[in-house]
Amino acid sequence: MTIKIKNIINAGFVIMILLCPMQTTASGKATLPEDVAQFVEKRDLCDHFRGEEPYDEERRKFLILNMTELCAGTDRLLAELREKYANDAVVTRVLSIYEDNIEPNQ
């Protein structure tokens, strides 16, 4: 399970790098502000579980547990980050791929 989650995270960052030009450090590595990077990691995992099929009761419970943990608060955080980094074109572009309202009862 841990390997699968790491692969999902790595795939998310590869997609981000391909979709938008990023600021780089002296070593050439792409960088994002820490709060944005943490959001991206959490929300990518949230979106992964949101897209999974609940093919039986055990799987449904597993998905709900993970979505509850990973998705909670991300709508509010996305809005806050978009406002905070409104003048940062790179961050704005990264955040633009995320849906605004994914949490139930919002």
Here the tokens at position 61 are 């419970």
Phi, psi angles (nearest 5°) of residue 23: -70, 150
- Per-residue confidence (pLDDT) for residue 104, from 0 to 100: 74
Distances in Å between the alpha carbon of 61 and those of 9, 45, 52, 64, 100? 22, 16, 12, 5, 25
Q: Could you read off the pLDDT tens digit of each residue along the chain, which spans 106 residues?
A: 445 555 555 455 444 444 444 444 444 445 899 999 999 999 999 999 999 999 999 999 999 999 999 999 999 999 999 999 999 999 999 999 999 999 876 4
Count of other CB atoms within 10 angstroms of residue 8: 15
pTM of the full predicted structure? 0.69
- Per-residue confidence (pLDDT) for residue 72, from 0 to 100: 94
- Per-residue confidence (pLDDT) for residue 63, from 0 to 100: 94
- Per-residue confidence (pLDDT) for residue 97, from 0 to 100: 96
